[in-house]
Structure 1
Amino acid sequence: MNQNRVQASEVAPRAGLADISILANASLTSVTGTDMTSNAQGNYDLALKYSGTGLASVGVADKKVLVYALPAELQGKVVGGATVDIDANLLPITPGDIPGVKVLFDALGVTINTLNAVLPIPSVVAAFNQLKTVQNLGAYQKTLPAVVSADGKTISVEFTQELSEYVHQAYVATFGSLRAAIDALQGGNVVTKPLIDGLKLAADKLFDVIELIASGGSDILDLALNGNILGDMNGTLHTTVSDPGAASATVKAGAINNALISADVLTAIEQEGEAVTLNFPTTAVNPIENYDVAAPVITQPVAGQTQVAGQVTLTQPIPDRTTFEAVVTLPDGSTKNVPLAADGTFVVDTGSLVDGQTISAKVVATNGTYTKDSPITTATVTAAPIENPIADYNVATPSVAPLTAGDPEITGQVTLNQPIPLGTTFEAVATLPDGSQLTGTVESDGTFKSAGVDQLAAGQTVTNG
């Protein structure tokens, strides 16, 4: 029996949502309405606002976590992450009454009253008295990145630290007027100067503590504000989901004091959290129905090539989960499909192409079960251009051996630049004084001879090329 009692005492009862909640009178609504409309990418943008009023027991240092529990229809469907807009109104406080500050604050009040009796300091008195009244700390407003759980069941955001830092800064700001008024005190006579110095010394002791609170070096404020700090607050989840494949999906939410979302915590939110049901179109939406699939451009095919290349400019924005492939129709009527590269290019093996054949291509976009074709582009194979193998070859200028009257032939030399294009031959052409021409073969060493010259006379000119 004793053993059974021990075992029973070690089994903690499952916490309900009320045991871990930080807000009362909560509600969950869809800012954009509950009838969902798809965006340009065929997805659905959600804006879910969870609102409530802070419980009296919730202090500055208490954990503050907003959790959205996604139903099975939306799990794994979050596209591009999520953010939450936090808007938390803080309850007013009396700055001078904070334990740990009050002793120094009251001591400063004594020195202020003493100096004021001798030398009126109305601005200091007014600023001091204001800190003895209730002051508004304003509202914490910030957009925070949310965490989508690995299993896709929750989206959550913790804002404990950010809110705490805001409260510290807002509290410190209430002392700004008093600090400025005291800093403005100057001079004094033999009677008042010691009182002014004593007031500033007392103020320095107070402001040293205030600076510690501002920097996070003191937990005085956190200990003092261990309850009754949150007023009305809300957190609006912004995220995008793909088509859930269902007519409706119910999201639930809760604001809790535990950053660890255990199975029990998730169950509590799923069973007791505030709920909103979102309605999705029952008729499937074609995400590429209005998407412009551009026609591809085919690089001019040339006879003898064994591939054809092309490119297409993909219209932006591209609907999510859309893929593209090029479908090329070859001269024999067969087709080949290849995925587009990231830059929209594609290459297809064709076999050796022949002048006059035609090739066509189109781009097919696919999204789920939907497809959409681009216009078809057709190209005709052209003959390969004939290249001149000696177009860029430098033919050197020949030199002719000296001639004398009566020589029967012309000889000379030319430098044959290397490398010599394959199949290239050379001949020397001599133009005689009467305009006739003689030719001679240029040997491999660059020498040449033009025979059959009639008797040359002195002073005549012979040209060679």
Structure 2
Amino acid sequence: MNQNRVQASEVAPRAGLADISILANASLTSVTGTDMTSNAQGSYDLALKYSGTGLASVGVADKKVLVYALPAELQGKVVGGATVDIDANLLPITPGDIPGVSLLFGALGTAIDGVDKLVAIPAVKAAFDSLSTIQNLGAYQETLPATVSPDGKTISVDFTQGFGKYVHQAYVALFDTLRDTIAAIDVKNPIAAIPVKLLQEASADLFAIIDAIADGTSDILDNALNANLLGSMNGTLHTTVSDPGVASATVKAGAINNALISADVLTATEQEGEAVTLNFPTTAVNPIENYDVAAPVITQPVAGQTQVAGQVTLTQPIPDGTTFEAVVTLPDGSTKNVPLAADGTFVVDTGSLVDGQTISAKVVATNGTYTKDSPITTATVTAAPIENPIADYNVATPSVAPLTAGDPEITGQVTLNQPIPLGTTFEAVATLPDGSQLTGTVESDGTFKSAGVDQLAAGQTVTNG
């Protein structure tokens, strides 16, 4: 018997969807119909609406999660993420009856009655009385980002926090009129001054609790509204899937009180969740059939380089699920494939290039089983340009020693800027009055001499360069 007891205790019953569901009378429908039509990118936009009525046990703090279970045909097909539009109606409540608020609310009512007997405060009375009757909290409406599971099996959204924040704000807003009318009391009767002060003190105690609820520092409302709060609600999933390649696919959904989508929860949703079957065109659609794959531009290849680079401008919009790669044909006829970077650039190793060789490239777009090529671009390798080693070297202006009539030579000095490019030599060129020129070697210290000058006359000009 003991052995049997141990074995039985180790077998935990698998939870069904009914055990974790927060809605009854649920349904799942496709807002746009069940016959799918592809969009401009060749994908399919889904709008799946899950509706139901809140169970009596669902309170403010209870977890509220919508989970959509995707069939194998749609797993890994979601493109561009997903969102869910939440529209949840709240059941009406009597604000003054909330435990934790009711005692202070009652004390305030007594104070209001006392003042009203001395000086009429009908606006305050009306505001207080309305909080003693059933009030509507309205509807929580918000669009939330949904989470696609890493394995692609589920899309889920947890709206617990947003729902709770809305309930707090809606409840607190019900007290605004009472707060405003009390603040507006203008007492001219001195006999009523003391009762009015007591009323204001009682209201301060009440509104301290209301403000704590508003800023989230009090859990009074969460504890009080632990059931019978959620009325009818719906959540509409918006997402886009690429072509599943099948005629139909069935999506199932459930609204549960568990944010952890475990294997059991997924199984329960797949087996017991509300379902909608989507019909896809049986004739496969090529999403890039009409897409313009632009030709790449190749950066001019130069002899001696070991890589070739290029870029392509990707035509927008790009069909969902499309990838691109560059296919480069090298001079020996072999090809290399490389994915395009996000900015459309690519680089391929070529080995050392030789002047006159040709290289060609094209871009290939791929979407599922479909591919499409761009026009081919060809470039011819050119010889590497010869660089001028002294293109940026600063040759200083020379200075000439003073000349006198009859001097047989011209001497001077020039500063040789450092560093001097390797292999560089210098010479001085003197232009004589008759236009003829004499040259002389510039020594390492910058001095130079131009011999062979005929007799110079006073006033003549000699230039040196």
TM range, normalised to the smaller chain?
A: 0.7 to 0.9
CA–CA distance in 1 between the matches of 2:388 and 2:14? Answer: 90
- 1 CA distance for matches of 2:320 and 2:77? 12
Change (3 A) 1:204 1:432: closer
Q: Does 1:375 align with 2:372?
A: no
Which SS does the other structure have where 1:245 is aligned? coil
Q: How does 1:223-302 map to 2 (within 5 A)?
A: 223-302=223-302
Give yes or no for contact 1:248–1:279 (8 Å, CA) kept in 2.
Answer: yes
Residues of 1 paired with 2:437 and 2:17: CA distance?
113
- 8 Å Cα contact 2:119-2:189 kept in structure 1: no
Mapping of residues 266-345 of structure 1, within 5 Å:
266-302=266-302, 307-330=307-330, 335-345=335-345
Deviation, 1:230, is 1.4
CA contact (8 A) 1:36 1:44 kept: yes
What stretches of structure 2 of length at least 5 have no aligned partner?
none
Q: Are 1:330 and 1:350, in contact at CA under 8 Å, matched by a contact in 2? A: no
- Output the amino acid matched with 2:16: G
Which residue of 2 is the match for residue 354 of structure 1?
A: 355
The equivalent of 1:108 in structure 2 is 108
Larger displacement relative to structure 2 (291-300 or 99-108): 99-108
**Quick one: distance in 2 between partners of 1:181 and 1:378?**
82
Bigger mean CA offset, 421-430 vs 42-51: 421-430
CA contact (8 A) 1:306 1:353 kept: no
Residues 92 and 325 (structure 1), Cα distance of their counterparts in 2 relative to 1, 3 Å cut: closer
Change (3 A) 1:337 1:5: closer
Does the Cα contact within 8 Å between 2:298 and 2:309 map onto a contact in 1? yes
Q: For 1:177 and 1:343, locate their aligned partners in 2 and report how far apart those are by CA, in whole Å.
A: 57
Deviation of 1:77 after TM superposition, in Å, equals 3.3
Question: Which residue number corresponds to residue 451 of structure 2?
Answer: 450
- Matches of 2:338 and 2:258 in 1, distance apart? 52
1:305 Cα deviation from its structure 2 partner: 5.3
Q: Does the 8 Å CA contact 1:188/1:196 hold for their aligned counterparts?
A: no
Match runs of 1:120-159 below 5 Å: 120-159=120-159
The percent of aligned pairs where both chains have the same amino acid is 76
Q: Matched residues in 2 for 1:20 and 1:387: separation?
A: 78
Instruction: Name the CA distance, whole Å, in 2 between partners of 1:104 and 1:447.
Output: 109
Q: 1:458 to 1:169 in 2, by over 3 A?
A: closer
Pairing 1:64-213 to 2, within 5 Å after superposition: 64-213=64-213
- Comparing 72-81 and 382-391, the one that deviates more: 382-391
**Structure 1 unaligned runs (5+)?**
none
Report the alpha carbon displacement of residue 391 of structure 1 after superposing the two structures with TM.
5.0
Letter paired with 2:355: V
Separation (CA, whole Å) in 2 of partners of 1:180 and 1:421: 88
Q: Say if 1:433 and 1:12 are closer, same or farther in 2 by CA, change over 3 A.
A: closer
1:53 and 2:58 aligned: no
Task: Name segments (4+ residues, structure 1) moved above 6 Å.
Answer: none
CA RMSD of aligned residues (A): 3.4
Which has the larger Rg?
1
Alignment partners' CA distance in 2, 1:212 and 1:422: 82
Q: Retained in 2: the 8 A contact 1:87–1:140?
A: yes
CA apart distance, 1:33: 2.2
Instruction: State the distance in 1 between where 2:57 and 2:244 align.
Output: 39
- Give the counterpart letter for 1:70 in structure 2: L
Residues 252, 270 of structure 2: 8 Å contact kept: yes
Q: Could you list the per-position Cα deviations for residues 48-78 of structure 1 after superposition, in whole angstroms to 9, with x for gaps in the alignment?
A: 1110111223233333222222222223333
May I ask how many residue pairs the two structures share in their alignment? 460
**Corresponding position: 1:417 with 2:416:** yes
For 1:423 and 1:2, the matched residues in 2 are separated by 101
User: For 1:20 and 1:334, how far apart are their aligned partners in 2?
Assistant: 61
Q: State the AA in 1 paired with 2:398.
A: T
Cα distance change on mapping 1:353 and 1:96 into 2, 3 Å = same
Equivalent residues of 2:428, 2:448 under 8 A apart: no
